[in-house]
Chains A and B, each alone.
Chain A
Amino acid sequence: MNNGRLILLATQLLLMISLLVIMAINGVKFKADLLSVLPNIDYPVAVADAEKQLFSQASNQIMLSFSGNSKEQAYDDMLIAVRQNSWQAQSPSSDSMERLARFYSTFSGALLTRQYLDKIESATSFKQYFLQQLSQVSSPWVTHTINGDPSLATANYLEQLLTKQSALLVENGRFVAVNVPEKPLVLFVQLSSNPLEAQGIDFSIKVAAAVTKMTEMLGDKYSSVSIKSSGMIMHTAENAVNAKWEMTLFGGLSLVLTLCIVVWAFRSLAPVLWISLTIANAFLFGFSVLALIFDAIHFITLVFGVTLIGLGVDYCLHVLANRFSDEKIPVGKTIFFAFITTFLCYSLLFFTPLLILKQVAVFVSAGLFAAFVMSFWIEGTGSFTWINKGIRPRNCQYLLTWLTQIPRLTVVLGSFILIFFVFNTPIFDDSITKLNASSKSLTKTQAFHHQLLDQQGKVRVFLYDESLQSLLQNEEALADTLKRKFPQVALVKLSDWIPSKRIQRANKALEKQAYDNGVYNELLQFSPSFKPNDTSNILTLSHFIEVNGSDYLSHLYVDVNPYHVSVMEISHVSMLALKPIIESTDNAIIFDKQSALTQVLTSFRKQMSFWLLGAISLISILLWFRFDWTTMIKSLFVITVTISGALIVSSLYQQSLNIFNLLSAILLMGLAVDYLIFYREHPKTNANILAISLSALSSLFVFGMLTFSQTPAIYSFGITVTAGLILIYLLAPLVIKEENEQRSV
């Protein structure tokens, strides 16, 4: 028998060493951005790929804003610091407007705005327009295009295009945000020439630290200047630093507290060794399996994974309590049954759509297995000298009496909780914003920067097609529909820069028709040689990018072979009004990640609720099968009251519940079954009560720590489990039966 336990442990250790060697060879990658752990949204492949590419671009950039009296000097100093860090400042190019003007002038006649088309409807309206434009004291658009296109169509096109594209003006080589009265200066910084390099945690932390240092330094130098920074990398760095700190603090504290109570209870350091071995084995095995299965390990997984300490230590505590007590009752079968139920509960998390929970499932399940194997071996080993001074307190009878003498009280308490739950059912709020782990200041800065870029309240619609021309035509048709239905709508789109060939040809025909109708007579008085451009010169995307680069279009167009994807930004129309129009448009989809994720979470929560009810029913049947009807009903009562009570406490603390409160209910179910089995299976011995109490205390240390987390997902989880653990501890003794004492285990 003991040889069997040793073989089991040796196999597990051998497997773990092999995995650790593989891990050392392959290396381990870590992640910290919360978005990456959320469920995938069911977008068309083209849109999902395009979004990924846009996300990657955005991850490689930070935005800085400067407000206050000496903002120009602070901006210039920052520019120097940015270059010293080998980052690339994206300053406005001084000759970009001239280049654009020269480029567009070569397509005169093909590029006409709606406003210009109205002006060339008659000679009178064109004359008025022409004279007014030339009377302007200074118009860069006219000056730079008139020699190439005296009809002023290009000047008009360029002015309209640049006016609606950006909320930023250029002053003295710096971007200026004109949306807010203080007109802050804006600086965009590209962090790496290869966006993939800008995704590591260490890179993010390094960048964030450098930006903070530069900002503080300039803040000291220019006290009147306010410098704000935002970007995905700042969120990643903040989350990573938080997670690292919490993991170290919570893990360390809960471990120390657990070991302290072990030393106190067993009056010996030997159990510390066994427990340390068990935890180390569990943690290393869980981590190595996790590293093998997933490409990158999320830091939040490890923070959740701290729960492994509280759970893994339980088996060892039961073994040690019985070895150190006078009764010496074997607990191998019981810890195995307890391990199986908890293992099953955690394993089920693997089938959730949340990556983070899949990782938690693998880490904790594998860790629990290792903890069980080690505890099983410790129980069987006889080769070690047990420095046994006996357990403390020597008699837990008072505690047991107290716990078992209050069944009526616990039933009343439980019933009260159930009634309260039924009449005051806690409300779930699945909004993804409730899970935002970033600090308020970072979120506020991001909102401010969105305001500067005029991005607030904009709806983004993705359009895709294998043919670029079909895509542009689809975009133009959608824009026409929107303008017809909502005259106040404001649109920013790819076809502003590159109209479809069909529109360009139609424009040329309209200009020619206007010329033939004498619309341009006023112009001909000044420039008798003017004639509409007869060449078949049509503007194309590739030509545009070749001459002007891709920066202008990088936020509006993505090439994801074989698809072309464009992004249309729509403002001044409500999502509700927009939805039916977009849904009836071919190859178009509203890209609203926030709402989509919220919907996914709502649907996921509903599924989980049903699953939880099913799992409780299944466990009840198992308990009936293993024990009897009475045990089943009592257990059902304990589990239901525990989950209900924990959710009530959580809702009182958090105002509304989220998916992580529900997920912790699954864990509570697993824990509750463990306690119920131990109470029902074993006699009312001192050792058993002590083991259960120590295990409850160690779990409380671990889960209680999580309630102090900064991350909503983690503290939600911690609150529910902590409240549930207290209830389980109080309610589980209900299943104790006197005949336990005669039961042979």
Chain B
Amino acid sequence: MLRQIIIFSWLALTCFYGVAGEISPKQAHEYLKMPKTLGTSGEFIQHKYFKVLKKPFVSTGHFKNIDGTFEWTTLTPVQSALIFDGKTLWQQESDGQLKALLLAGHYIVVVEALVTGDIYQLGEFFQFKKLDDASCLRLTPKDKQMALIAVSINFCFEDSQLKVQLNESEGNYTIIDIKPNSTHGK
């Protein structure tokens, strides 16, 4: 009997803690002390840490969202671009040719929300939890399909800059440092 009470209490506390740990997009927004809107363009540095590679893979570039078209342009080490026109995701290769990326289309919406700091959009796909670091949140995918791009995401905002860490499968992870071009009113 005592054992059952202990187990029940433990389960109840765990659930309470679990529920209590989750915060709403509005709370997340306030917690990170983010401005109402971040710039819709900026620059990025991406570090990819794959277990099989002995050193991180670094790429840099810029992004922008103009009239509903989101462009993610990589400048180094090779030039390429991802262009999302709201319906289809296109990959522009160094020779300028566009190739439709059918299956990756809906992941780019998440990427765009991540790099522009659109917490409310992210709330559609992820649950938020506070991390020990006061400027960071842990994002957990609501749907397992979204977990294909990251099992979890560390989303940090500090000194007007975003830092996103995609914790991928099999111990791989990607860190993207984002410097928005401009921020408006806090």
Contact = CB atoms under 8 A, between A and B. Distances in A.
Interface of A: 92, 94-95, 97-98, 128, 131-132, 134-140, 143-144, 146-147, 150, 159, 162-163, 169-173, 176, 178, 181, 526-528
Interface stretch (B29-37, B132-140, B163-171): B163-171
Nearest to B93: A132
Given A140-B148, A143-B149, A163 B57 contact: no
A139 B50 CA distance: 13
B77 interface: yes
A172 B107 CA distance: 11
B94 A162 contact: no
A146 B168 CA distance: 12
A481 B31 CA distance: 61
Nearest to A146: B50
B77 A94 contact: no
B80 A135 contact: yes
B64 to A, nearest CB: 14
Contact of A94 (B48, B61, B145): B145
12 contacts: A98-B169, A137-B82, A138-B149, A140-B104, A143-B170, A146-B53, A147-B52, A163-B101, A169-B105, A171-B106, A172-B143, A173-B143
Contacts of B149: 138, 140, 143
Given A128-B94, A173-B144, A143 B172 contact: yes
Nearest to B87: A181
B54 interface: yes
Nearest to B61: A135
A163 B104 CA distance: 9
A693 to B, nearest CB: 71
B48 A134 contact: yes
A527 B148 contact: no
Nearest to A101: B169
B176 A137 contact: yes
A97 B143 CA distance: 14
B74 interface: yes
B145 A526 contact: no
Interface in B7-55: 46, 48, 50-55
A136 B78 CA distance: 11
A383 to B, nearest CB: 83
A139 B48 CA distance: 11
Contacts of A176: 106
B66 interface: no
Contacts of B166: 138
Nearest to B95: A128
Interface string B143-164: 1111111100000000000000
A147 B57 contact: no
B59 interface: yes
Q: Describe B's contact surface by its main secondary structure.
A: loop
A171 B82 contact: no
B148 A132 contact: no
A134 B47 CA distance: 10
Given A131-B78, A143-B169, A527-B53, A137 B111 contact: yes
Nearest to B111: A137
B5 interface: no
Contacts of B147: 94
Contact of A132 (B78, B87, B107, B171): B78
B103 interface: yes
B102 interface: yes
A128 B80 CA distance: 10
Given A140-B107, A169-B106, A147 B170 contact: yes
Contacts of A146: 50, 52-53, 172
A92 B106 CA distance: 16
Q: Which of B78, B82, B143, B166 has the most CB of A within 10 A?
A: B78
Contacts of A143: 148-149, 168-170, 172
A162 B145 CA distance: 15
A98 B168 CA distance: 12
A132 B75 CA distance: 10
Given A134-B57, A169-B105, A526-B54, A144 B148 contact: yes
Contacts of B116: none
Contacts of A134: 48, 57, 59
B172 A135 contact: no
B103 A138 contact: no
B72 interface: yes
A172 B106 CA distance: 10
B106 A98 contact: no
Contact of B54 (A98, A162, A528): A528
B174 interface: yes
A133 to B, nearest CB: 10
Nearest to A145: B170
Given A138-B150, A143-B170, 16 more contacts: A94-B147, A98-B148, A98-B169, A132-B93, A137-B46, A138-B149, A138-B166, A139-B104, A143-B169, A144-B148, A144-B169, A147-B51, A147-B171, A147-B172, A159-B103, A163-B103
Contacts of B148: 97-98, 140, 143-144
A631 B57 CA distance: 101
Given A135-B59, A137-B46, A172 B170 contact: no
A414 to B, nearest CB: 66
Given A147-B51, A526-B55, A137 B143 contact: no
Contacts of B50: 146-147, 150
A636 to B, nearest CB: 68
A203 to B, nearest CB: 34
Contact of B72 (A137, A526, A528): A137
Nearest to B102: A163
A647 to B, nearest CB: 53
